[in-house]
Amino acid sequence: MTTAAVLSPSPIQKFWANDGTPLVGGTVTTYAAGTSTPIATYTDYTALTPNSNPITLNYRGEASIWLLPNVAYKFVVNDSLGNTISTTDQITVSQLLTLFAGVDTGIANNYIVNFIASFSALANGIVLYFVPANNNTGASTLNVNGLGVIPIINVDGSALGANQITAGQMVEVVYYNGNWQLITISAFSGSTIGTFGISTTIPSASTTDLGSATAHVVLVTGTTTITSFGSSASLSAPIYMVRFSGALTLTAGVALILPGAANIPVQAGDSLIAQYLGSGNWTVLSFQANSWKPIQYGSFTGTLTGMSGSTTGTVTYLITGGTIRLWLNGGAITGTSNTTAMTMTGLPAAVTPTSARAVSTFVENNSVTSNVGLASVSSSSVITFGIATVSGSYTPINTSGFTNSGTKGLGADWTISYPL
């Protein structure tokens, strides 16, 4: 591989008078770029001994002038009588010294660092790494070398969510168009989608704030009913894996969209995958009961009540791990309605869940086969059916509402699935 050579810089600075002769006895005064504030240069590379300011040129019009890297200077050159020969501003020797800005000295959400590769101004493309002293709890800022409090944002432009910055874990940011963009976080917590980190324990509460976890694997303790998973999570990393150590209830609603749009009674060991939708709203993508059985296949005689005379039919079941699927085998089970309720009895122990499970289904009501309903499978081997009477998008479905007339029951294509 061929390496290209570069032109050597001038080893000693030489200055000239207006008539082209060496500027003997002339001076060079150095200022911070764009100002009249004197700033030091140095006699050699160690930057231990500063030059005098002004610098007096020798009998050949020369001086040894060493500059700090990435610092912008202004040079004013005068002759020996004080007449200005030239003024040159924005003299900078750019040099990448390091990308590490050290440990921040600020507080949570307001980070402060001093970067050895100093800059007089921020420019697009500046990259630095730093170690935060505190977790963030929401929208955050960074002040580098006292150049101003600048927002730290996600690459999609959104503000940071809680715990996207973790104390003691390296953070990478890049400056772009007036913001510091958060690029990565070590240990794969927070903004890195698809990674989850070490499990965090959170006590159950009406609002169990998953966004407060330091990673995206959460163990929820306690037995308090949960109606919300909070509003501090980030849309850039919206997926959480949640386990439960106690029995409690998840309440369905706009803030917590659950499978079947119905409350879920949770047992110890149950788990779920949840996605943050923004504005404090969540959807549970998957719920898994802790009960786990080997694959089983069989059938039983199901008896529907709420009709003139008992109506029975063959119900087939398949158990795969912790999930049960029931479906009709041999045609519909229907009859003439004589109440506003309907149940199925006869479930064997193999398909009886550890706690009540509710799922959406289709039922026949007053000779109409396409009614959306609810199948609530109890732990006492009874399925209670209802007709959907929904007043809002995610209002739980009532377990009643059949008409006391016509034909009702389950169509030949009826099927439900629920966790054990």
11-94 shares its CATH topology with 295-419: no
pLDDT at position 395 over 50: no
pLDDT of residue 223: 94
Residue 420: CB atoms within 10 A of its CB come to 22
Rounded to 5 degrees, what angle do the CA atoms 302, 308, 310 make? 25
pLDDT of residue 319: 87
| Residue bearing the bigger pLDDT, 299 or 155 | 299
Beta-strand ranges (E) seen in 346-400 are 357-365, 368-377, 383-387
User: Mean pLDDT, to the nearest integer, of 194-200?
Assistant: 66
Residues of 320-337 as b/e, b for ≥16 C-beta within 10 angstroms? eebbbebbbeeebbbbeb
pLDDT of residue 186: 42
Rounded to 5 degrees, what angle do the CA atoms 307, 309, 315 make? 75
pLDDT at position 196 over 50: yes
- pLDDT, tens only, 25-61: 999 999 999 999 999 999 998 999 999 999 999 999 9
**What is the CATH code of the structural domain delimited by 11-94?**
2.170.14.10
State percent of the chain over pLDDT 90: 51
Supply the pTM of this predicted model: 0.40
User: First vs last Cα of the chain: how many Å apart?
Assistant: 65
pLDDT at position 78 over 90: yes
Contacts 24+ apart (CB under 8 A), 176-184: 176/124, 176/125, 177/124, 178/150, 179/150, 179/151, 179/152, 179/153, 180/142, 180/150, 180/151, 180/152, 180/153, 181/152, 181/153, 181/154, 181/155, 182/152, 182/153, 182/154, 182/155, 183/155
Q: How confident is the model at residue 188 (pLDDT cuts 50, 70, 90)?
A: very low
User: Mean pLDDT, to the nearest integer, of 414-418?
Assistant: 91
3-state secondary structure of 299: strand
189, 216 in Cβ contact below 8 A? yes
pLDDT at position 191 over 50: no
- pLDDT, tens only, 301-326: 999 999 987 799 999 999 886 788 99
**CA-to-CA distance for 143 and 43, rounded, in angstroms?**
32
Task: Count CA atoms closer than 13 A to 48's CA, side-chain side.
Answer: 1
User: Mean pLDDT, to the nearest integer, of 194-214?
Assistant: 83
Q: Does the 295-419 domain belong in CATH 3.30.2290?
A: no
pLDDT of residue 10: 85
pLDDT of residue 96: 67
pLDDT of residue 328: 92
Task: Provide CB contacts within 8 A for 369, sequence distance 6+.
Answer: 362, 411
Compute the residue count for the chain: 420
pLDDT of residue 389: 60
pLDDT of residue 192: 44
> Which sequence spans correspond to the domains of the chain?
11-94, 100-188, 200-288, 295-419
Please name the residue that has the structure tokens 């949640």.
242
Candidates 418, 284, 269, 291; CA nearest to 356 is 418
pLDDT of residue 29: 97
213, 202 in Cβ contact below 8 A? yes
- pLDDT, tens only, 269-288: 889 999 999 899 999 998 88
Residue 126: CB atoms within 10 A of its CB come to 17
